[in-house]
């Protein structure tokens, strides 16, 4: 999750570039400044952390949180007063 300055055209461009980098890395937007990605296990997270650090704009705040499968499955989402089931974890390997 992140809070980036967007007061100037340059700041808006940097924030947009950062969001696009997250999308290119397979993250999906949960809310405007909250992006999520299933990594399988903790050993797969370090490469994403490095890429996020490299893509981080010079100003603003970025926080990276890690959840276990169990913690993620216990999330309660309420949308339009209706409880939504959390997304299923994707298959780690998909053959096309």
Each residue's pLDDT tens digit, 14-72: 999 999 999 999 999 988 899 999 887 888 899 999 999 999 999 999 999 998 888 88
More confident of the two residues 7 and 39: 7
- Distance between CA 68 and CA 81 in Å, rounded? 26
pLDDT at residue 94, as a whole number: 45
pLDDT at residue 34, as a whole number: 94
Kindly indicate the confidence band of residue 96, based on its pLDDT and cuts at 50, 70 and 90: very low
**pTM assigned to the model:** 0.80
Residues 6+ apart with CB under 8 A from 59: 4, 5, 11
pLDDT at residue 92, as a whole number: 52
């Amino acid at each position: 999750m992140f809070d980036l300055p967007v007061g100037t055209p340059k700041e808006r461009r940097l924030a947009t570039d950062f969001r696009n980098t997250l999308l290119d890395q397979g993250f999906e937007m949960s809310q405007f400044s909250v992006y999520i990605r299933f990594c399988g296990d903790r050993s797969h997270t370090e490469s994403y952390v490095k890429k996020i650090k490299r893509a981080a704009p010079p100003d603003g705040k970025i926080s990276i949180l890690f959840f276990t499968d169990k913690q993620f499955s216990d999330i309660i989402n309420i949308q339009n007063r209706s409880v939504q089931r959390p997304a299923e974890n994707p298959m780690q390997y998909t053959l096309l």
